[in-house]
Amino acid sequence: MADQQEEEVNRLENVTLNIAVAGENGAGKSSFVNAVRDLKDTDEGAAPTGVTETTMEPTMYPHPTLPNVNLWDLPGVGGPDFKAENYMTDVKYQNFDFFIIVSAGRFMENDSMLANKIKENNKNVYFVRTKIDFDVTQEEKKGVTEEATLQKIRNNCHENLRTLGPPPVFLITSSNLERFDFPELVNTLERNLPNNKRDALVMSLPVYSQQCLDQKYNTFKKAVWAVAITSGAIAAAPVPGLSTACDIAMIASFLTKCYYSFGLNDKALERLSQRVNKPILAMVRGSALVRAIAEESSLATKVAARLGAAGVIETLCIFVPFAGNIAAAGISFVTTRSVLLEGVNELYSVAKRVIEMAEIN
């Protein structure tokens, strides 16, 4: 039983997801990686982008808040000397869960060759046609509707990739993931991932729609019981004081993860505010839980460090305001579970208000 519990927590904490992003030089790979990590191109830790900022070797970009989810920005596949075979070996394809091939215009022969190699190596490959915002704007100037432009691009991509099936192509723009096909791409990725990796993916993506937020909410709710069950297991350990310390650290760490995943941190909110041109940030500070998490840089460590038998309940009350009625006798599985659930619910309702105010779908 203990093994099972440990495995469940490992499943949530330690599952790794390595996503490879490939494509021609200048296709928009680095920008895509930044968008998925919810970073602006100019943010610290963002992949360098621009017409001359060529990515020369595979570079790993860990997710800002889920360090086991990594996006790999691969070098361009262009050039006359390109060999799909060498490329796959050079980038150590075994390490990746799946590949995304990005193109800003027609998919080229190199893209198809690479896709074939990826499939031969039993990995999934997905096609993303990016910079759609640019195409739509250009075509609009000529009086072509957005719908007609999208259809034209879809047909064109299918034509380019006809030797491959033709596979589905997802139309996106890195400057605004909620427009176009990004949600569809995520649904498809999810369908093809094993359960544990699917959860990691859902938790890691920026909030780009109400549906996406709901999926995250469900994933965190599902995770609650596993976290609570482990805290129950620890409570059975014969070290007085330790169990509560672990519980609180675990609660704080779990809710912090949820807070980031729901996009409630300053950076994510600022980015969203700018994008939709609305002052969302100030409103969110109305939630005591959000404030408590935002004000602590490493909540879990601080909580654990400050714990003494007497301080436990007060500490918990600071971070989880509605937990004031927890009995000092100890925190049971049921209590931990309800504290976690209430925390997730509160964060969800704040995130939902943000989405409503931002008027995303």
Ligand X SMILES: Nc1nc2c(ncn2[C@@H]2O[C@H](COP(=O)(O)OP(=O)(O)OP(=O)(O)O)[C@@H](O)[C@H]2O)c(=O)[nH]1
136 vs 200, beta carbon nearer ligand X: 136
The entry of ligand X, Mg ion, none near residue 173 (CB within 5 to 8 angstroms by kind) is: ligand X
Can residue 173 be called a binding residue for ligand X (CB under 6 A)? yes
Beta-carbon contacts of residue 286 (< 8 Å; ≥ 6 apart): none
Residue 206's φ and ψ, nearest 5 degrees, are -70, 155
Name the one range near ligand X by CB under 6 A: 9-17, 53-61, 110-118, 242-250. 53-61
Can residue 130 be called a binding residue for ligand X (CB under 6 A)? yes
Can residue 55 be called a binding residue for Mg ion (CB under 5 A)? yes
Can residue 30 be called a binding residue for Mg ion (CB under 5 A)? yes
Locate 35 and state its tokens: 């968008």
* Interface residue with ligand X, options 8, 13, 133, 146 (CB under 6 A): 133
Collapse the DSSP code of 248 into the 3-class scheme (helix H, G, I; strand E, B; otherwise coil) and give the result.
Answer: helix
Beta-carbon contacts of residue 171 (< 8 Å; ≥ 6 apart): 129, 132, 150, 153, 154, 180, 181
Can residue 30 be called a binding residue for ligand X (CB under 6 A)? yes
Residue indicated by tokens 């982008």: 49
14 vs 25, beta carbon nearer ligand X: 25
What is the DSSP secondary-structure string of 42-110?
Answer: TSTTPPP-STT----S-EEEE-SS-TTEEEEEPPP--STT--HHHHHHHTTGGG-SEEEEEESSSPPHH
Residue indicated by tokens 């309800």: 338
Can residue 149 be called a binding residue for ligand X (CB under 6 A)? no
Locate 204 and state its tokens: 């890691």
Minimum distance between the CB of residue 56 and ligand X, rounded to whole angstroms?
8
Name the one range near ligand X by CB under 6 A: 125-133, 142-150, 236-244, 321-329. 125-133
Can residue 121 be called a binding residue for ligand X (CB under 6 A)? no
Beta-carbon contacts of residue 282 (< 8 Å; ≥ 6 apart): none
Residue indicated by tokens 């609570």: 228
Name the one range near ligand X by CB under 6 A: 44-52, 80-88, 153-161, 181-189. 44-52
Name the one range near ligand X by CB under 6 A: 21-29, 90-98, 181-189, 208-216. 21-29
* Interface residue with ligand X, options 37, 117, 129, 131 (CB under 6 A): 131
* Interface residue with ligand X, options 94, 134, 148, 241 (CB under 6 A): 134
Locate 88 and state its tokens: 């796959």
Can residue 58 be called a binding residue for ligand X (CB under 6 A)? no
Helix and strand numbers (H, E) in the chain are 16, 6
Beta-carbon contacts of residue 12 (< 8 Å; ≥ 6 apart): 196, 199, 223, 226, 227
* Interface residue with ligand X, options 174, 261, 265, 287 (CB under 6 A): 174
Can residue 50 be called a binding residue for ligand X (CB under 6 A)? yes
Q: Which residues bind ligand X (CB under 6 A)?
A: 23, 25-31, 49-51, 53-55, 76, 130-131, 133-134, 173-175
Binding site for Mg ion (CB under 5 A): 30, 55
